[in-house]
Structure 1
Amino acid sequence: MESFMTLFISLLEILLALGSWTVPSEAKAFFVFGDSLVDNGNNNFLATTARADSPPYGVDYPTHRPTGRFSNGLNIPDIISEQIGAETTLPYLSPELRGERLLVGANFASAGIGILNDTGIQFFNIIRINKQLEYFQQYQRRLSSLIGPVQSQRLVNGALVLITLGGNDFVNNYYLVPYSARSREFSLPDYVRYLISEYKKILARLYELGARRVLVTGTGPLGCVPAELALRSRTGDCDPELERAGDLFNPQLVQLLADLNRQIGADVYIAVNAVKIHMGFITNPQAYGFVTSKIACCGQGPYNGIGLCTVASNLCPNRDIYAFWDAFHPSEKANRIIVSQFMTGSVEYMNPMNLSTILAMDEKA
């Protein structure tokens, strides 16, 4: 029996080496890049303080254990995977990401990162965006050895890509401390222009690496998260300075995506209006079944917005009635509302088209 198993494993390795795996025609891979809003566990494998691998994170995940997601349960990529009928993508650093699991795609996101390399330096060892793109190249080499270069390119070209960057460049860089290095170097309008110019290079590189359907989220309402309410708001109103940052950044990002699409001659980049999506449940939480959009479920201090979510924190008994899980991140219930707009939102939310339209178009292609 042991010799049979050894022979079987050897044959399997030979098949893999020959690239004889085939991609099911209906398969749509999914690749994720960005920060803690979309990280599903890469930072678990790194020596960094930006991690979510201890309770009560994951309290509502199917296993009821922390996974590295900055959520009580599922995050945005998980729910998008559900919607497109795919398995959840594994973190790129996970040892489980091998063999047939590579066909599903990969999540390269890392909590704490931004558009700029100096964003999140306080978290030390995180996967900056240029490294995420290097890993994407490495992934493609691994995939090519599995299914061959032609099928590998077809899978990547036909994949859905999500990238979420920008929030940390304000919260954990420009506004991290009073008179930060970047705020002394740039006025806010100049800083935003600099971010957009750097983001253009990242998005162009994604296209060079084969991405053809890229959902690009703008920054959410940065001044309305519990952490910023705790630090900056006496009345519970959103902080106007951080809101001004988003108001400058997001329209320029939308314009950048339109310009890139025009240069390419195709709707490669889809602008996701994260502010508009979030503001629905932030300004009228009761309409979405929430009791509050100001107080985080897990935390301490005003609005539960000070410090990290830990076992010593206040923890709400019902996560479904809180828009925010911790000081910065939406609850699973809020993530589901967000993804529903990805799927069916009008051009005010998803420009030039929503995800349902993309999937229908790609199915006919």
Structure 2
Amino acid sequence: MASQIISSRLLLLALPVLACVFPCSCHARATDNNGARIRGMFVFGSSLVDNGNNNFLKNSIAKADFLPYGIDFPSGPSGRFTNGKNVIDLLCDQLKLPLVPAFSHPSTQGRKIIHGVNYASGASGILDDTGSRAGNAISLNQQLRNFEEVTLPDLEAQMGFRRRELLPEFLFVVGTGGNDYSFNYFLRQSTANASLEVFTANLTKILSGRLQPDGDGQPTRTPWMHSSVEQGSSPLQCSLEVLGRYTTSSCCEVMALNRGGNGVLCKKEGKACEDRNSHVFFDGLHPTEAVNIQIATKAYNSNLTSEVYPINVKQLSMF
């Protein structure tokens, strides 16, 4: 049997949370998107990349299924924690992929999953108990189980191929980390990093276990990629410099703790600013679509090693 090589790569997006991209590439068949070999995405993480999973959770206050969230999204409020599209949506646009459906939506099964699934849950984190103060959240480990135990068997049935043949055509994205520090003020960074390493090891194990070539194939190689703005440096620096006008205030009306709010989420049916393209933050924590556009664009096609290293997502998709 011809040997195959599995590639895994890590991308840290320029946001105040951690975001990782793991593409697996070995003789992928899908090459319709301007030479790109990406059929779709599987997305894990927290509210930065949640596109509606929390809508279906009981006893969760981390929801964005009401105005003014989605005020600029084509179908209105969807569960995305921003005024329009999030980073994942914009990467899908760049890769000419359809928007990825939320795992928890009842219709996300059958042919709906052939371009990937989004498992992300607002308020979740690297640690299983992160976000418990916000009520229900789907932990990162549970998201991984949903991928392996529910989606993969369905995907095999729909596509008529084994997972080892299918998974190399997908991009694996993880956006998480910020909530671990927000909800666990005294959390040591080493603890969160160790937990993230366990998660990524489990994900890699699932992928490599399914994709490892039979016989004496070549070993797995694992180059990593990341962007320049990480925790501990200057989050959103590029966006702050470009937008410039409103860098700390939220665009939507956020209720303070002493007024019955949580100091983060938009007030339900509350007001939103008109000049949303001039704001960095839509609510008390999450970026506007204008910022998401900048981040996704840089991740996709920047050639600056200070922004994406060693290659950008566009180059990655050609492998």
Q: TM-score range by the shorter chain?
A: 0.7 to 0.9
Match of 2:225 in 1: 270
- Please state how far the C-alpha of 1:291 moved relative to its aligned partner: 2.2
In 1: Cα distance, 2:195 partner to 2:315 partner: 29
What is the match of residue 297 of structure 1? 251
CA contact (8 A) 1:300 1:314 kept: no
Distance 2:255 2:157 in 1: 52
- Report the Cα distance in structure 2 between the residues aligned to 1:351 and 1:133, rounded to whole angstroms: 26
Instruction: Tell me which of 37, 62, 68 is aligned to 1:56.
Output: 68
Matching residue of 1:72: 83
Q: Which amino acid aligns with 1:61?
A: F
| Alpha-carbon shift at residue 312 of structure 1 (Å) | 5.6
Distance 1:95 1:314 in 2: 31
- Counterpart amino acid of residue 249 in structure 2: I
Aligned 8 A contact 2:251 2:276 in 1:
yes
Q: CA deviation at 1:146?
A: 1.7
The question of whether the paired residues in 2 share the 8 Å contact of 1:71 and 1:325 is answered with yes
Measured after TM superposition, the shift of residue 96 of structure 1 is 2.2
Say whether 1:317 aligns with 2:274.
yes
Query: Does the 8 A contact of 1:81 with 1:88 survive in 2?
Result: yes
CA contact (8 A) 1:56 1:72 kept: yes
SS in 1 for 2:287: coil
TM superposition shift of 1:201: 1.0
Listed as ranges, the matches of 1:1-365 within 5 Å are 26=32, 28-47=39-58, 48-63=60-75, 65-137=76-148, 138-150=150-162, 152-173=163-184, 175=185, 183=186, 191-210=188-207, 264-267=220-223, 269-275=224-230, 278-282=236-240, 284=241, 288-300=242-254, 306-311=263-268, 313-345=270-302, 346-360=304-318, 362=319
Percent identical residues: 29
- Find the residue that maps to 2:248 and give its secondary structure: coil
- Report 1 or 2 for greater relative contact order, CA contacts < 8 Å, sequence distance ≥ 6: 2
Change (3 A) 1:354 1:25: closer
Letter in structure 1 aligned against 2:222: A
Letter in 2 for 1:266: T
Residue equivalent to 1:250: none
Q: How far apart, CA to CA, are the structure 1 residues paired with 2:192 and 2:243?
A: 36
**Helix, strand or coil: the match of 1:81?**
helix
SS at structure 1 position matched to 2:225: strand
**Post-superposition offset of 1:206:** 1.2
Q: State the 1:326 CA deviation.
A: 0.7
Structure whose residues are more often helix by fraction: 1
Q: Give me the CA root mean square deviation.
A: 2.4
| Kept after mapping to 1: 8 A contact 2:255/2:266 | no
Amino acid at match of 1:164: G
TM-score (norm 1): 0.68
Rg: which structure is higher? 1
Give aligned pairs, total.
Answer: 267
**Whole-Å separation in 1 of the counterparts to 2:168 and 2:220:** 14
- Partner of 2:249: helix, strand, or coil? coil
* TM-score of the two chains, using structure 2 as the length reference: 0.77
Shift in alpha-carbon separation, 1:300–1:201, aligned structure 2, 3 A: closer
Gaps of 5+ in 2: 1-28, 33-37, 210-218
